[in-house]
């Protein structure tokens, strides 16, 4: 098969690596790709939102399957554009990707179908939101309705902060039209777990669990980022939690979407919080997580292209997903100053150390190939993943491998996976 992967981050590198191992994959393309993905795929310079350009490329090159990495094209309906041209695509259509694209939609869905989540209210005007805040207990969580690069969630500890937050989202429109509506949500505490699941419209099969680290600094301090590291499996995701989620969350969400006429085919990502009052859904995403994919996919035993095909063809009930009985940890190497201000263009050394080493991966995110070698080209530069027989060994391996790579202004958190010591 000729397969096209759409995206350019560490997640897409992990997908490309996994697809490259499939016995069904003959030729691999990636749009736009990055310096690491080039190792397995021909990278073509077409942007992820250029649906006509991508579809024209798929038609011209007779691509058999296109796999979408990021949320933006899915929420904007890339799958519908491809399907209208009879091009095979892995990813939900626009009417199902709304589960990530609108937080108001996902909250209403959960309420209607009794899927456990935080209590909430939805507002279309700042005045109504201000009035509601006057009777709230703090902290509260404010969420811009639409996509906001993972930044549209504000945790507010006082009425003053919350009013300023409403202004930021709904009046100043810091996140653009994503802030036309606002969800005000009850603040919950507990451990977070990410579970990604393959879906074929009817059936859903969850993968092994993972946890990411969103904050920039050790001890979960600093600003929210696109993710500074991850580990899999989560020791907090016990068989009891799994049984609860299978009973009340995963299949229930699939059935709810079906009942709404929004059959979900693709990856459904459950952001869960294990609270004292049980497991609740924090958010849904309609795609693989980044950096969750970088720790989950290296542990997967199945041929991923077979699983993609089963999802598209509605035959997921014939698939048995299998994961190695091991663990993986991913440490993100970022540019000092990320996520605010950072410099780019520094030469990266040490990537050759990963060649032919089983269980060690340097997934590229913000990198660029130049005549003199690979240089830094973004805030998150590389995701260094290592496996091990258990989480502690995987963590030791990941930090060892993170030390093989050097570049000016290299920054990483030193406590990725530290939580496992508390398990
Ligand atoms: P979301 O994009 O909805 O997952 O929110 C981003 C992050 O904000 C989550 O990963 C949590 O760390 C935090 N968060 C979201 N909703 C809540 C909530 N109701 N209570 C506490 N923290 C939350
Ligand atoms: N790691 C969280 C996300 O991909 O949205």
188 lines ligand 1 (CB under 6 A): yes
* Ligand 2, atom nearest to 214 Cα: 1
**Mutation to probe ligand 1, out of 107, 155, 222, 274 (largest number of atoms < 8 A from CB):** 155
Confidence of residue 215 (pLDDT cuts 50, 70, 90): very high
- Residue 201: CB atoms within 10 A of its CB come to 20
Every domain of the chain with CATH number 3.30.470.20 lies at: 191-318
What mean pLDDT comes out for the span 275-304? 98
Is the CB of residue 394 less than 8 Å from the CB of residue 231? yes
CATH number for the domain formed by residue range(s) 2-93: 3.40.50.20
Over range 245-264, report the average pLDDT.
Answer: 98
Measure 331 CA to ligand 2 centroid, in angstroms.
15
Arithmetic mean of pLDDT, 143-157: 91
In this structure, the residue with its CA closest to atom 2 of ligand 2 is: 289
CA atoms within 13 A on the CB side of 95: 9
Mean pLDDT computed over every residue of the chain = 97
Residues 6+ apart with CB under 8 A from 87: 55, 58, 59, 63, 66
Cβ within 8 Å of residue 150, ≥6 positions away: 214, 224, 226
Ligand 1 centroid to Cα of residue 29, in Å, is 35
Residue owning the nearest CA to atom 18 of ligand 1: 187
Taking residues 279-288, report their average pLDDT: 98
Region(s) of the chain under CATH 3.90.600.10: 327-422
Centre of ligand 2 to C-alpha 313, Å, is: 27
Report the CATH superfamily, name and number, of domain 119-186.
ATP-grasp fold, A domain (3.30.1490.20)
Distance 227 CA to ligand 2 centre (A): 7
pLDDT of residue 240: 97
Summarize the confidence of residues 76-83 as an average pLDDT.
98
Per-residue model confidence (pLDDT) at position 28: 98
Mean pLDDT, residues 312-322: 98
CA dist., res. 330 & res. 6, Å (int):
22
Share of the chain above pLDDT 90, in %: 96
| Rounded Cα–Cα distance for residues 139 and 187 (Å) | 6
Residues of each domain in the chain carrying CATH 3.40.50.20: 2-93
The CATH number that domain 327-422 falls under is 3.90.600.10
**Which overall architecture, per CATH, does domain 191-318 show?**
2-Layer Sandwich (3.30)
* Mean pLDDT within 94-103: 98
pTM for the predicted model, two decimal places:
0.97
Question: Which residues belong to CATH 3.30.1490.20 in the chain?
Answer: 119-186
């Amino acid at each position: 098969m000729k397969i096209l992967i759409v995206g350019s981050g560490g997640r897409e590198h992990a997908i490309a690596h996994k697809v490259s191992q499939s016995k069904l994959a003959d030729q691999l393309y990636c749009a736009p790709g990055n310096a690491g993905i080039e190792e397995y795929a021909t990278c073509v310079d077409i942007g992820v939102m250029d649906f006509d350009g991508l579809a024209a490329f798929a038609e011209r090159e007779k691509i058999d399957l296109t796999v979408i990495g990021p949320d933006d094209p899915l929420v904007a309906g890339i799958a519908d554009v491809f399907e209208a041209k009879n091009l095979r695509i892995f990813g939900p259509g626009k009417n199902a990707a709304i589960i990530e694209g609108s937080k108001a939609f996902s909250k209403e869905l959960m309420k209607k179908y009794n899927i456990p989540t935080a209590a909430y209210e939805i507002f279309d005007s700042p005045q109504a939101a201000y009035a509601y805040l006057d009777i709230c207990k703090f902290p509260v969580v404010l969420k811009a309705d639409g996509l906001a690069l993972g930044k549209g969630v504000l945790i507010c500890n006082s009425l003053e902060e919350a009013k300023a937050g409403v202004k930021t989202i709904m009046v100043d429109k810091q996140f653009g039209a994503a802030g036309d509506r606002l969800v005000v949500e009850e603040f919950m505490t507990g451990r977070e777990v990410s579970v990604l699941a393959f879906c074929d419209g009817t059936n859903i099969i969850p993968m092994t669990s993972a946890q990411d680290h969103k904050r920039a600094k050790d001890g979960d301090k600093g600003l929210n980022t696109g993710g500074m590291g991850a580990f899999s499996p989560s020791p907090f995701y016990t068989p009891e939690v799994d049984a609860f989620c299978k009973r009340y969350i995963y299949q229930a969400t699939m059935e709810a979407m079906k009942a709404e006429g929004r059959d979900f085919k693709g990856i459904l990502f459950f952001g869960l919080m294990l609270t004292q009052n049980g497991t609740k859904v924090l958010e849904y995403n309609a795609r693989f997580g980044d950096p969750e994919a970088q720790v989950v996919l290296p542990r997967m035993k199945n041929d991923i292209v077979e699983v993609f095909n089963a999802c598209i063809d509605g035959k997921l009930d014939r698939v048995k997903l299998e994961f190695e009985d091991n663990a993986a940890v991913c440490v993100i190497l970022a540019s000092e100053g990320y996520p605010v201000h950072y410099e780019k263009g520094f030469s990266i050394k040490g990537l050759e150390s990963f060649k032919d080493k089983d269980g060690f991966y340097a997934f590229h995110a913000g990198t660029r190939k130049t005549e003199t070698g690979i240089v830094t080209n973004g805030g998150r530069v590389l995701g260094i993943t290592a496996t091990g027989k258990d989480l502690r060994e995987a963590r030791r391996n990941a930090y060892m491998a993170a030390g093989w790579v050097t570049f000016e202004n290299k920054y990483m958190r030193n406590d990725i996976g530290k939580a496992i010591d508390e398990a």
